[in-house]
Amino acid sequence: MPYEITEECTGCTVCAKQCPMGAISGRAKELHYISASLCIDCGVCGMACSSSAVLDSSGNVCGKVSLKNRPKPVVNPELCSGCEACVTICPFSCLEVNGSIMPFETKGKAELVKPAKCVSCRECERICAKSAITLEILRKEIISEVS
């Protein structure tokens, strides 16, 4: 069951702008709708909504979580194969595979390069065949190093 937008929606469009799948439609200042066929149940719409107008797949009202307080992808370099599946699927281009620094490695490893743009949709985590990516709340020191 996909997420649902209730009558509490003010039409601010924040959810639609952050939805990684483009599953939310509606005009500004009007009730928005989520396409069940496009929704991947990532919860980004609920985290973006300041009107408490989004219900999760269990029917619970979602709470707003600011971008800076959402979990971000953390890559385990020992598991990452550098295949770039996470880079390709990220709708906001937050990940890159950088060149290898090891002498006998042919590929680099994925890393989060734009943490401020990451909406925490978990698509990178879902696509990773090696389970090298987990989403975690980052400490401020780590975010400033990456930014």
CA distance 50 to 127: 29
- Segment 80-110, tens digit of pLDDT: 999 999 999 999 999 999 875 556 656 789 9
The confidence score (pLDDT) of residue 102 equals 57
Please say if the pLDDT value at position 140 is more than 90: no
pLDDT for 141 beyond 50: no
- pLDDT tens track for 24-44: 999 999 999 999 999 999 999
Is the domain spanning 1-65 CATH 3.10.129.10? The answer is: no
CB neighbours (10 Å) of residue 134?
Answer: 15
User: In this structure, how many other beta carbons lie within 10 angstroms of the beta carbon of residue 5?
Assistant: 22
Q: What is the mean pLDDT of residues 14-32?
A: 97
Fold classification of 67-146 (topology level): Alpha-Beta Plaits (3.30.70)
How much is the pLDDT for 139? 73
Domains 1-65 and 67-146 in one fold? yes
Tally of CB atoms within 10 A around 112: 23
Is the model's pTM score more than 0.75? yes
CA–CA distances in Å: residue 15 to residues 4, 12, 129: 11, 8, 29
Q: Going along the chain, which residue ranges are E strands?
A: 4-5, 24-25, 33-34, 54-55, 72-75, 95-98, 109-112, 133-136
- The structural domains of the chain, with segments of one domain joined by +, span 1-65, 67-146
Percentage of the chain beyond pLDDT 90 is: 82
